[in-house]
Amino acid sequence: MYETHGTVVGTVITTPVTRSGSAGEEFLAFRMASTVRRRDYTTGEWRDGSTLYLTVTCRRRLMSGVVQSLAKGDPVIVTGELRTNEYTTRDGVARTDLELSATAVGPDLARCTVVLDREPRTVAPVEATETSSTESVSSESASTEQAAAETLVA
């Protein structure tokens, strides 16, 4: 009900790994880092600020796309639900981790280029009938939509 949504721009810093949750569901996890850069106007130089580290988790259909597309070092934009996880290490140290349960993950096109691998779109053929003027108009608009779809595929 009170989920916190956010978008983080950064870099993948670990290899994405498939894991299983406590209920047996599979998910993909990787760590990312986002470093603030600020320009020092007195010197004109860019300086790195603090770095935000977080764990990104991807589930279901998003998981399969991310595992095939991302690797360590890739620039990414991730959006989803932010939450903290509190846990104790094997050494007995209490820790808190920031997790971003992703709803969308994509490349940061300001820092890389991408070639999309798309499934071919299929368009059903439209049969024209001349029974009434309204059906004729809808048939013409369907033909226009089909031509536009064929242009997109080509």
pLDDT tens figures, 50-88: 999 999 999 999 998 999 999 999 999 999 999 998 989
Q: What is the mean pLDDT of the segment spanning 11-24?
A: 90
Q: Cα-Cα-Cα-Cα dihedral of 37, 41, 42, 44, to 10°? A: 70
Averaged pLDDT, 121-129: 70
Long-range own/partner contacts, residues 52-55 (CB < 8 A, 24 or more apart): 52/8, 52/10, 52/98, 53/13, 53/98, 54/8, 54/97, 54/98, 54/99, 54/100, 55/29, 55/30, 55/31, 55/85, 55/97, 55/98, 55/99, 55/100
pLDDT at 2: 75
pLDDT confidence of residue 9: 97
Residue 25 has a pLDDT of: 86
> Confidence class of residue 131 from pLDDT cuts 50, 70 and 90?
low
State mean pLDDT over 35-43: 91
User: How big is the chain by its Cα radius of gyration, in Å?
Assistant: 23
pLDDT, residue 94, reads 93
Please say whether the beta carbons of 141 and 110 come within 8 A.
Answer: no
Tell me what pLDDT residue 148 has: 46
pLDDT for res 115: 87
> Is residue 35 scored above 90 in pLDDT?
yes
pLDDT (tens digit per residue) in 92-116: 999 999 999 999 999 999 999 988 8
